[in-house]
């Protein structure tokens, strides 16, 4: 009995380690399966919510948004749809039919019965106001005033301007669909002839284009990633395992979004694919460590040996990628901030799930791949390594020189979130803008609000004179083709003097007093909290590439002297500057600031991590060169060419930096192991030992680095055909950065290690 019991105890103590690892794998898979319903419901709930609008991308405390929100509250204006079609001329019966349906007793409402539209204005209505008393302009003169504002250059073509209520904005997808359907029924039967534009259309188009990108390209991209994973691992079983585990972690990102109460936005469309590619990339490296451990030693305990070898580089790789993503949290723009945080959660979740599941399965069902033992100086990988080592000084010099030249162009980087950078030129929304600006006039408004305090002694007639002066000053600015203000609906002031001039001014003053209520109805004047607000709107092109930063400065420079000439603050008057374009300009500046802030913060933290891991400041700094190499080259080129960065491309620098460091950690892991084997663990390493270590690193990591880069680069590139420009540019730029990062890891880094700079690197502790 004793012998039997002892034998049983020895058998228990000698239980194969794979049983514990495999049990851990089964438990993890069981937890994921149990959480699957919650994950699926979270994904459905997030994807079914309408995206946030660009104005909502900045916090409510963002100063330009505060100004714009105040303007929209005070004038009950700002969110409109402009619609026109061939045959939409002054007096066309189709216009009256549409206005009747949009504003009549059967006008559309939301579920609570609140109307979608607050007003519908056409050129005919504006013309009628000008030809009727009190102004009573000649019809031709009235049309001339309205050209470029609501009537086209030909004096006939016009449009309808539909103002939205808050209920309409909340239900903007159905409201804009109703507008299109009703116009196709009452005005024109040709979809191609109907042209609609404006802030509300922009927002709906962003929603549709981003969702269409996921719907059309998400499936093919996932399939491509799976096929590349299968090609890389040469094992269907492990390809399916790694892919499904990464896909589960994508679901965890949606669960995280739900838990934090964050909303859907267009940038999040690429997050699932990014997390999937990063997860699969990490899985490829992990399986590579498992196969290496089995080939380099006994089969028993291979999984544990692989975990001991690979946990640090894999953790550092995922951790630095997460740091690159989490650095985006410093952004003031909600889409970038939300994307960075939840993508980082997904990356770290993928790391944990892969290590909890894959080693256990490998210990139970290992990949029995034959080791192709080629001599060090044979094979394409070895020949490429030999070439890199032989020309290491030239490669280092050319790389550093290229980085220096590119860095000079970095200050020239500019950003944009204007409509023409959100969509490709051939998309419907851009074609509609182009048609409307040609046949009606510019659609982008810049608002100047003259705010007269309750104690201001400036009389209404003088206020009208100020409005005229401001309008005339704005009309002289390059790019402004139309100015709308109360002066448009009042008699023009004639330069004259004497009693006749005084009589005319008195007449105008009486007409103005009588017409104030009408001007208030047209939202030209507003009385708010004791102040009287007079609005002057300059219209510019949304597609002309105007630098609205400089434009706003010119507006201020023209208007402030006019305000000062009329007494300024001392007389209780000041000017506010707002509108969609000033807000867009402020967002552009925030984008550029976020680009550098997130990149520099990520670069600083990752550099510190690299210095700690490599055991020295110099070694860490040298190891960072191939990681910043792709970013400086690409963004420097964009700066030199003056290409605009949008909300999608801004994020790529920090993300690509984290991804580039992945390959560096894996290559250096095998390099330092090679140094340890060649030097016996001593701290000093000869040139020959470094050369042998570079060959070893190539032999053990080059294939996995190429495979993971292909998965990430080609997987993301599947979104390149998207009509939503930020998604398209994100795909192209990140793919280019991944390719450049591979060059950095397999060309620049080996050259640095073989050069005199390599003496700062120490062998790994064995």
Chain segment 719-736, per-residue pLDDT in tens: 888 777 778 888 888 898
3 state SS of 456: coil
Provide the 8-state DSSP code for 512: H
Distance from C-alpha of 160 to C-alpha of 102, rounded to nearest angstrom? 11
CA distances from residue 407 to 401, 404, 412, 634, 640 in whole angstroms, order as listed: 10, 5, 10, 10, 9
pLDDT for the residue numbered 11: 44
- What is the CB neighbour count within 10 angstroms for residue 537? 22
Phi, psi of 96, deg, nearest 5: -65, -40
- Are the beta carbons of 647 and 727 closer than 8 angstroms? no
How far apart (Å, rounded) are the C-alpha atoms in residues 77 and 449? 13
Select from 420, 411, 401 the least CA-distant residue to 640: 411
Instruction: Average the pLDDT over each of 1-15, 123-137, 505-519 and give the range with the smallest value.
Output: 1-15
Average pLDDT over residues 53-58: 74
pLDDT number for residue 48: 66
Helix (H, G, I), strand (E, B) or coil at 481: coil
Residue 574 clears pLDDT 60, i.e. is over it: yes
CA dist., res. 363 & res. 290, Å (int):
9
> Is the pLDDT score of 7 beyond 50?
no
Judged on CB neighbours under 10 Å (0-12, 13-18, 19+), 418 is: buried
For 163: left if phi > 0, alpha if psi spans -120 to 50, otherwise beta; the answer is beta
Percent of all residues in the chain with a pLDDT value above 70, rounded to a whole number: 88
Q: Can you give the pTM of this predicted structure?
A: 0.75
Q: In the prediction, which pLDDT does 656 show?
A: 80
**Ranges 216-225, 231-240, 568-577, 590-599: which has the least confidence:** 590-599
For residue 679, pLDDT over 80 is answered with no
Q: Using CA of residue 253, residue 258, residue 263, residue 266, what is the dihedral sign?
A: positive
Q: Is the pLDDT of residue 202 over 90?
A: no
Strands 573-578 and 195-197, how do they pair?
unpaired
H-state helical runs in 718-748: 725-743
Give me the residue label for tokens 């992990």: 286
Calpha distance 156→89 (Å, rounded): 5
Distance CA(737)–CA(635), nearest Å, equals 10
The answer to whether the beta carbons of residues 543 and 443 sit under 8 Å apart is no
Between these two residues, 517 and 217, which has the higher pLDDT value? 217
Which is nearest to 153 in space by CA: 140, 138, 143, 142?
A: 143
- 3-class state of residue 187 by DSSP: coil
Q: Which residue has the higher pLDDT, 265 or 627?
A: 627
Closest C-alpha among 517, 534, 471, 515 to residue 136: 515
| pLDDT for 226 | 93
Tell me which of 57 and 573 has the higher pLDDT: 573
Looking at the DSSP assignment, which residues form a beta bridge with residue 575? 450
Q: What is the pLDDT of residues 115-157, one digit of tens each?
A: 999 888 898 888 888 888 766 778 888 888 888 888 999 999 9
- Residue 435 in this model has a pLDDT that exceeds 90: yes
pLDDT score recorded for residue 31: 93
The 3-state DSSP class for residue 528 equals: strand
Taking the C-alpha atoms of residue 445 and residue 536, their distance in angstroms, rounded to an integer, is 10
Is 70 exceeded by the pLDDT of residue 502? no
Going by C-alpha positions, the residue among 665, 636, 688 that lies closest to residue 744 is 665
The answer to whether 229 touches 712, Cβ cutoff 8 Å, is no
Q: How confident is the model at residue 77 (pLDDT cuts 50, 70, 90)?
A: low
What per-residue confidence (pLDDT) applies to 49? 60
* DSSP, res 684: -
Please identify which residue in the block is written with the tokens 């999984």.
303
Residue found by looking up tokens 């705010």 in the block: 451
Residue 160's beta-bridge partner residues?
A: 83, 122
Containing 183, the helix (H) or strand (E) segment is helix 172-186
Look up residue 395 and give its two tokens.
Answer: 């490669």
Q: What is the pLDDT of residue 271?
A: 84
State yes or no: pLDDT of 423 exceeds 70: yes
Match 């004096």 to its residue by tokens: 155
Higher pLDDT, 256 or 75: 256
704 pLDDT band (50/70/90 cuts)? confident
The DSSP secondary-structure symbol of 92 reads -
Mean pLDDT in residue range 302-324: 86
Q: What is the pLDDT of residues 451-465, one digit of tens each?
A: 999 888 888 888 888
What would the pLDDT profile of 323-372 be if each residue is shown by its tens digit? 888 888 888 888 888 888 998 999 999 999 999 999 999 988 888 754 44
- List, for residues 650-663, the tens digit of each pLDDT value: 778 777 877 788 88
Average pLDDT score over the chain: 83
Q: Would the pLDDT of 596 be above 60?
A: yes
Query: 179 versus 327: which is more confidently predicted?
Result: 179
Q: In terms of Cα–Cα distance, which of 161, 169, 69, 77 is closest to 114? A: 169
pLDDT of residue 376: 44
Residue 9 has pLDDT above 50, yes or no: no
Ordered alpha helix ranges (H), 528-567: 548-565
Q: pLDDT by residue (tens digit) across 741-752? A: 899 999 999 999
pLDDT at 766 over 60: no
Q: Which region among 203-212, 384-393, 608-617 has the lowest average model confidence (pLDDT)?
A: 203-212
Residues in contact with 576: Cβ distance below 8 Å, sequence separation at least 6, in sequence order: 67, 70, 71, 447, 448, 449, 451
Does position 648 have pLDDT exceeding 60, yes or no? yes
Instruction: For residue 743, report the phi and psi dihedrals to the nearest 5 degrees.
Output: -60, -40
Q: Which of 6-20, 377-391, 626-640 has the lowest mean pLDDT?
A: 6-20
> Mean pLDDT lowest for which of 307-321, 421-435, 637-651?
637-651
Q: Which helix (H) or strand (E) holds 706?
A: helix 687-717
| Separation CA 309–CA 241 (nearest Å) | 21
CB 179 within 8 Å of CB 164: no
What's the pLDDT band for 449 if we cut at 50, 70, 90? very high
Nearest of 485, 483, 467, 486 to residue 540 by alpha carbon: 483
How many Cα atoms occupy the beta-carbon half-sphere of 404 within 13 Å?
6
pLDDT for position 17: 57
C-alpha distance from residue 497 to each of 69, 438, 468, 505, 562 (Å):
43, 41, 18, 10, 22
Q: Which one of 271-280, 369-378, 585-594, 642-651 scores highest in mean pLDDT? A: 271-280
Question: CB burial class (10 A; 0-12, 13-18, 19+) of residue 102?
Answer: buried
Residue 682 has pLDDT above 60, yes or no: no
* Rounded distance between C-alpha atoms, residue 348 and residue 354, angstroms: 10
Residue predicted with more confidence, 573 or 666: 573
What pairs with residue 531 in β-bridges? 528
- Residue 374, pLDDT > 50, answer no
**pLDDT tens for each residue of 231-250:** 988 889 999 999 999 999 99
* pLDDT (average), residues 392-409: 92
Q: Are 359 and 290 in contact (CB under 8 A)?
A: yes
270 neighbors 716 (Cβ within 8 angstroms): yes
Structural domains in the chain, sorted by start: 1-48+234-373 (1.20.1640), 77-203 (no CATH), 377-412+590-766 (1.20.1640.10), 444-540+547-578 (3.30.70)
Structure tokens at 285: 């490296």
Task: Tell me what pLDDT residue 718 has.
Answer: 84
Residue 608 has pLDDT above 70, yes or no: yes
């Amino acid at each position: 009995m004793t012998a039997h019991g002892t034998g049983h105890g020895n058998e228990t103590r000698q239980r194969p380690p794979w049983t514990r690892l495999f049990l851990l794998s089964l438990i993890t898979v069981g937890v994921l399966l149990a959480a699957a319903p919650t994950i699926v419901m979270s994904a459905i709930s997030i994807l079914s919510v309408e995206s946030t609008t660009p104005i909502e991308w900045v916090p409510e405390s963002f100063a330009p948004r505060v100004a714009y929100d105040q303007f929209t509250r005070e004038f009950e204006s700002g969110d409109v749809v402009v619609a026109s079609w061939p045959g939409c001329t002054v007096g066309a019966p189709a216009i009256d039919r549409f206005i009747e349906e949009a504003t009549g007793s059967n006008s559309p409402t939301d579920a609570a019965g609140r109307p979608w539209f607050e007003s519908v204005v056409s050129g005919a209505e504006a013309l009628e106001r000008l030809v009727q008393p009190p102004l009573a302009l000649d019809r031709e003169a009235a049309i001339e005033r309205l050209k470029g504002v609501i009537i086209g250059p030909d004096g006939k073509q016009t449009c309808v301007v539909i103002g939205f209520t808050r209920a309409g904005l909340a239900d903007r997808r159905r409201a804009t669909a109703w507008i299109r359907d009703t116009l196709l029924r009452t005005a024109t039967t040709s979809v191609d002839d109907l042209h609609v534009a404006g802030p509300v259309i922009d927002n709906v188009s962003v929603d549709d284009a981003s969702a269409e990108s996921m719907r059309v390209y998400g499936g093919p991209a996932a399939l491509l990633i799976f096929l590349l994973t299968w090609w890389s691992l040469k094992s269907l079983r492990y390809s399916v395992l790694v892919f499904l585990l990464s896909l589960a972690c994508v679901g965890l990102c949606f669960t995280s979004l739900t838990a934090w109460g964050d909303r859907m936005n267009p940038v999040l469309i690429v997050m699932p694919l990014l997390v999937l590619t990063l997860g699969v990339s990490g899985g490829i490296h992990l399986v590579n460590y498992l196969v290496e451990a089995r080939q380099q030693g006994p089969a028993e305990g291979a999984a544990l040996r692989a975990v001991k070898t690979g946990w640090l580089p894999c953790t550092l790789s995922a951790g630095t990628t997460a740091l690159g993503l989490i650095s985006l949290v410093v952004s003031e723009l909600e889409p970038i901030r939300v994307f960075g945080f939840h993508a980082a959660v997904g990356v770290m979740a993928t790391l944990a799930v892969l290590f909890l599941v894959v080693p256990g399965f490998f210990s139970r069902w290992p990949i029995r791949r034959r080791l192709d033992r080629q001599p060090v100086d044979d094979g394409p990988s070895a020949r490429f390594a030999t070439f890199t080592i032989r020309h290491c000084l030239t490669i280092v010099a050319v790389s550093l020189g290229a980085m220096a030249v590119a860095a000079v162009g970095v200050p020239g980087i500019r950003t944009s979130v204007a409509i023409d950078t959100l969509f490709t030129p051939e998309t419907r929304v851009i074609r509609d803008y182009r048609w409307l600006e040609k046949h009606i006039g510019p659609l982008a408004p810049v608002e100047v609000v003259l705010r007269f305090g309750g104690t201001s002694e400036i009389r209404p007639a003088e206020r009208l004179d100020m409005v005229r002066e401001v309008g005339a000053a704005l009309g002289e600015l390059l790019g402004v083709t139309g100015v709308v203000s109360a002066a448009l609906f009042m008699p023009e002031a004639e330069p004259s003097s004497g009693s006749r001039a005084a009589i005319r001014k008195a007449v105008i003053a009486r007409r103005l007093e009588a017409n104030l209520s009408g001007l208030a109805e047209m939202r030209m004047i507003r009385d708010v909290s004791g102040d009287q607000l007079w609005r002057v709107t300059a219209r510019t092109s949304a597609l002309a590439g105007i630098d609205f930063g400089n434009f706003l400065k010119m507006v201020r420079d023209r208007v402030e002297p006019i305000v000062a000439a009329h007494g300024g603050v001392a007389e209780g008057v000041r000017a506010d500057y707002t509108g969609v374009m000033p807000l867009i300009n402020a967002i552009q500046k925030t984008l550029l600031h976020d680009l550098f802030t997130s990149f520099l913060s990520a670069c600083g933290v990752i550099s510190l991590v690299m210095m700690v891991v490599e055991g020295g400041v110099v070694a860490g700094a040298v190891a960072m060169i191939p990681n910043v190499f792709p970013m400086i080259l690409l963004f420097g080129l964009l700066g030199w060419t003056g290409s605009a960065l949008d909300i999608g491309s801004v994020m790529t620098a920090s993300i690509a930096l984290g991804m580039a460091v992945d390959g560096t950690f894996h290559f250096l892991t095998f390099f330092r192991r090679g140094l340890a084997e060649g030097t016996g663990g001593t701290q000093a390493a000869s040139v020959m030992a470094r050369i042998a270590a570079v060959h070893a690193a190539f032999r053990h990591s080059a294939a996995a680095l190429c495979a993971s880069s292909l998965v990430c680069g080609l997987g993301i590139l599947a979104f390149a055909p998207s009509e939503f420009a930020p998604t398209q540019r994100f795909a192209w730029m990140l793919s280019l950065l991944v390719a450049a990062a591979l060059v950095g890891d397999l060309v620049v880094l080996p050259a640095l290690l073989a050069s005199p700079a390599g003496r700062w690197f120490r062998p790994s502790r064995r």
